[in-house]
Amino acid sequence: MSYIYDLWDDFISLLFPRLCYACGNHLMRNERLICTECYVVIPRTNNHIKADNPVAQLFWGRCMIEKAAAFSYYNKGSRIKNLIHNLKYKGIREIGYELGRIYGLSLETSGFMKDIDLIIPVPLHPAKKKVRGFNQSETISMGIADATHLPVDIKSLERTLVSATQTKKSRYERWTNVEGIFQVTDPQTIMGKHVLLVDDVITTGSTVESCSIELLKIEGVKDGQMLRVFFRLLILRQ
């Protein structure tokens, strides 16, 4: 029976070839979304096993992030860039989930996720989310949640301003345009929690900095105890 199924599967693949979203090659029967070669050759930063990595250094002196890491390098024409492009602009949201799941497994086994209570994706402005149909950072977070069994909170942090595309701004504008873009709508949920903040790409780090500024405002005193919000950050670009 499985032989007939395989034949049928091959026949369907001839009519509707399934291609790897990273390199465009045909996927084998046991492959999904990303081919085995891409799994192997997509470069990993291994930031998560080195505390003073380049992504963490990006935030030194800017905001109190405990740890930071990126999955891969976002170079021109790279396989990871193709994946992110297919995720964001072709709407293949399963790619985000799969990348999150792969990275989540590495983060979990390395101890990077130790003491994390909550995963928060960097929110899109509701209008932008409506146009795109989904938030790519949210799908990545869902994949990480699958690998780590941690909850994803998509309600407590909200984007209130649509900022102009970061790439169109000067470097100075990008560095100064960080306050008041996000707001915490449910401080009680986040209070005292150790948060993993997830974004899909990072350039200057200003988006993540904006989120952190708002989340860190929750730090306060309750029941005679100092409660703090901690951050670990996951980004797919360096």
Using CB under 5 A, list all residues that contact Zn ion: 20, 22-23, 35, 38
With H, G, I as helix, E, B as strand and everything else as coil, classify residue 181.
coil
Closer residue to Zn ion, CB minimum distance, 78 or 183: 78
Tell me the residue ranges of DSSP E strands in 79-178.
Answer: 118-121, 157-159
- CB of 20: closest distance to Zn ion in angstroms? 3
Closer residue to Zn ion, CB minimum distance, 80 or 145: 80
- CB of 35: closest distance to Zn ion in angstroms? 3
Closer residue to Zn ion, CB minimum distance, 38 or 236: 38
Other beta carbons within 10 Å of 85? 13
- CB of 39: closest distance to Zn ion in angstroms? 8
Closer residue to Zn ion, CB minimum distance, 42 or 157: 42
- CB of 180: closest distance to Zn ion in angstroms? 41
Helix, strand, coil percentages for the chain (3-state, nearest 5): 40, 15, 45
Q: How far is residue 123's CA from residue 84's CA, in Å, rounded to a whole number?
A: 17
Question: For residue 187, which amino acid is it?
Answer: P
Q: How far is residue 182's CA from residue 48's CA, in Å, rounded to a whole number?
A: 26
CA atoms within 13 A on the CB side of 58: 23
Please, which residues bridge with residue 184 across strands? 157
Closer residue to Zn ion, CB minimum distance, 38 or 152: 38
With H, G, I as helix, E, B as strand and everything else as coil, classify residue 203.
coil
- Per-residue b/e over 86-121, b at no fewer than 16 CB within 10 Å? bbbeeebbebbbbbbbbbbebbbeeebbeebebbbb
- CB of 146: closest distance to Zn ion in angstroms? 22
Closer residue to Zn ion, CB minimum distance, 35 or 197: 35
Q: How far is residue 24's CA from residue 109's CA, in Å, rounded to a whole number?
A: 30
- CB of 201: closest distance to Zn ion in angstroms? 20
Closer residue to Zn ion, CB minimum distance, 22 or 120: 22
As given in the structure block, the two tokens for residue 15 are: 């009519």
- CB of 59: closest distance to Zn ion in angstroms? 32
With H, G, I as helix, E, B as strand and everything else as coil, classify residue 184.
strand
